[in-house]
Structure 1
Amino acid sequence: MTSLITNNSATVALSTLRSINSQLDTVNTRVSTGKRINSASDGAAYWSISTTLTSDNGALGSVKDAIGLDKNTVDAAAGGLKTVLDSLNTLKNKLTTAMSTSADRGKLQQEISSTLDGIKSVSDNTVMNGTNWLSVDSSATNYNSTKALVSSFSRSTSSTGTSTVNVSASYLDTGAIMLYDKKAAATTVGSTVTGTAAVATAATQADSTDATLTDARGAGFTVAISTATGAQGGFLDTVYSVAFNTFADGGTGTDTIAGTSDDPADTYTAGTAAAADDFSISKMDISKLSNSYKDLNKIQAYVKVVDATIQQLTAGATTLGATSSRLTSQQNFAQSLMDTNTSSIGNLVDADMEQESSRLKALQTQQQIGVQSLSIANSTTSNLLSLFR
């Protein structure tokens, strides 16, 4: 039966065409976006997981950037410290030369002062991202020599399904590389260094001769440098106290020439221990030092302090190098996690473009057939007109 009011064939053809158009829209969206899951309605579970992974990737990207900034700061400090160490070695060489009794200490002091000025300039200008670890002001509010360096980001899920995130950090104590400190306490006496004198021995004198015995002895001493906080400032502006025993010519005692009854007593006056010498590397001055045992021992004390400082700063530079390597490793690991997350997201939501291309072509063909089918169904009523002619 053919009806003028209801065209069942046209209704079926129209419904089919609508379904084809809907599928075609979906495929077009997938082809244009490259994703088969574009919203929660396309697949709630996959969309939720991929959204979380995308969020984590953003956090990991920020962690990677933060690690990069921290690494730049560490590398800047390491570069500045290397230059300072080279200058301190030069300084030690100049002081060693000054131990010679024929050295021109005035000229050497000019070179020493120039070297120290260069060290100060490098320290003050080793700034990265507004941070300077070599020249600081520990009296500033909220100052902390221990620096937190971002290292990782992680997400964990408890047995109840609650998800938590954690940003981890590694810590670096910059007190081991601090060269200058603007706080007033930096001028406080630091480590006290003491030495022990040798036992005095009287020289043999000629018979029946009164003479002052000559005792020109220097004393040994050791130098210790501490990086403890408190009274000390930076390695170069902390004032160290070096105390060592240097005796004046002569001593106190009685010299008896054995076997001679008429030998008068020869006496000598004891020398006293020299007063402690307070100095800092940044302000040391050898220009006025003489060739006396006391002054030569003072120069030797300077050499020992500079050498001990070099050893301490070398250890600090080693720590910086290890920290830089660790940050590079953590940065690479963060990138590896990002790559893994990106791959996981792709597996969940990315469209299979070969498959979608085939479907698109098939649906376009079906659409054309559906249009023709609808056209045929709609032409059925017009064929009835011939029956009424």
Structure 2
Amino acid sequence: MTSIMTNTAAMAALKTLRGIDQNMEMTQNRISSGYKVDSAADNAAYWSIATTMRSDNKALSTVQDALGLAASKSDTAYTGLESSIDVISTIKSKLVAAREPGVDKDKINKEINELKNQLQSIAESASFSGENWLYNESITPPGTKEMVGSFNRASDGTVSVTTLKFNTSDSMLIDTNDPTNGILTNATTATWSYGTTTTTGTYYLLDAQSSTPQTGTEVTISTSTSNDDLDGMISAVDLMLQKLTDAASTLGAIKSRIDLQDTFVKNLSDTIDKGVGRLVDADMNEESTKMKALQTQQQLGIQALSIANTNAENILTLFK
């Protein structure tokens, strides 16, 4: 039946054309934004996952910055320790040289004093971002430093921050408030043999110039210094050198851990970006192909609607 009141063919063509226009609008949005899931309306599950992972990735970016700061602090302290080890090794060699008969011990002591001044300078200069792990002059004793290492999300959705820790009491060289906290200002008890006699003595290398009295004897020599005392100083300085070597080894391990964690966080961040991209990024090759097909369908839909409207006009010829 042909009706001039209800054009069924035109209605069908118009419905098809509307569907094509909707698909074209969706495809155009994907092409312009680059996302196939740009809002929760597109795909609520994927949008939720992508939003959460992007937020976590921002946190990981902050972790990378924190690891960079931690690396700078540990590098500064390690450089100071490494330089201090070289200076103390030189002091030990000077003390051994003073053991030779006929040497001018006063001149050697002047050299040792300059080396001590260098140790003081190294300790005070080994500061980064207001933190010094080798020198302390505050009433607060050196403690454990925490550095942000990672941001974690558990399977149940809870989040946590992992930290890397280093006890600065292991690396503190000088403490002017409490000399016992500094490796070079604290009294070091050494045991040595002179001839057939075994002797024990207590020495410290640097004068902390603190209101708290230092125990033991300062490592300093003069023409009146006996070989027995020199042996004690050499033994004490060697023990200090061992402590610094242990501290440098611990700090070196922390440095390596920070470098490894920094590389891991960067790789993890890139992997998250790729994973989110697989969920929400549009395939531009596929979308461009769809657009070409939809443009063709749109042209055919317009022609079909035109034909449907023309059929109604043909009825007028029946009344001529």
Q: TM-score, normalised by structure 1?
A: 0.70
Output the amino acid matched with 2:126.
T
2:102 paired with 1:171: no
Taking a change above 3 Å as real, the CA distance of residues 191 and 125 of structure 1, as seen in their structure-2 partners, is: closer
1:326-365 mapped onto 2 (5 Å cutoff) = 326-365=257-296
Could you tell me which residue of structure 1 aligns to residue 177 of structure 2? 183
Compare 295-304 and 42-51 and name the one that shifted more. Answer: 295-304
Taking a change above 3 Å as real, the CA distance of residues 334 and 26 of structure 1, as seen in their structure-2 partners, is: same
Output the amino acid matched with 1:290.
T
2:82 paired with 1:85: no
Could you tell me which residue of structure 1 aligns to residue 153 of structure 2? 155
Could you tell me which residue of structure 1 aligns to residue 109 of structure 2? 109
Contact 2:9 2:308 in 1 (8 A): yes
1:321 to 242, 252, 268: 252
- By how many angstroms is 1:165 displaced? 0.9
Contact 2:190 2:236 in 1 (8 A): no
Rg comparison, structure with higher value:
1
User: 2-side partners of 1:190 and 1:168: how far apart?
Assistant: 37
Taking a change above 3 Å as real, the CA distance of residues 32 and 62 of structure 1, as seen in their structure-2 partners, is: same
Output the amino acid matched with 1:170.
L
More helix by share: 2
Output the amino acid matched with 1:157.
S
User: 2-side partners of 1:72 and 1:364: how far apart?
Assistant: 58
- By how many angstroms is 1:91 displaced? 1.4
User: 1-side partners of 2:83 and 2:194: how far apart?
Assistant: 38
Output the amino acid matched with 1:285.
T
* Count of residue pairs brought into register by the alignment: 311
Contact 1:145 1:173 in 2 (8 A): yes
Could you tell me which residue of structure 2 aligns to residue 254 of structure 1? none
Q: Percent identity?
A: 38
1:296 to 227, 234, 243: 227
Contact 2:98 2:108 in 1 (8 A): yes
Contact 2:205 2:237 in 1 (8 A): no
Contact 1:178 1:235 in 2 (8 A): no
Gaps of 5+ in 1: 200-218, 226-233, 242-277
Residue 172 of structure 2: SS of its match in structure 1? coil
Taking a change above 3 Å as real, the CA distance of residues 51 and 191 of structure 1, as seen in their structure-2 partners, is: same
Instruction: Show CA shifts across 1:227-281 (max 9, x none).
Output: xxxxxxx97456452xxxxxxxxxxxxxxxxxxxxxxxxxxxxxxxxxxxx21xx
Residue 147 of structure 2: SS of its match in structure 1? strand
Contact 1:133 1:177 in 2 (8 A): yes
1:157-306 mapped onto 2 (5 Å cutoff) = 157-158=155-156, 163-185=157-179, 190-192=187-189, 219-222=197-200, 236-237=206-207, 239-241=214-216, 278-279=217-218, 284-286=219-221, 289-291=222-224, 295-306=226-237
Residue 36 of structure 1: SS of its match in structure 2? coil
Give the root-mean-square deviation of aligned CA atoms: 3.0
Compare 302-311 and 333-342 and name the one that shifted more. Answer: 333-342
Residue 41 of structure 1: SS of its match in structure 2? coil
Could you tell me which residue of structure 1 aligns to residue 19 of structure 2? 19
Output the amino acid matched with 2:51.
T
Could you tell me which residue of structure 1 aligns to residue 29 of structure 2? 29
Could you tell me which residue of structure 1 aligns to residue 136 of structure 2? 136
User: 2-side partners of 1:73 and 1:376: how far apart?
Assistant: 78
Q: TM-score, normalised by structure 2?
A: 0.84
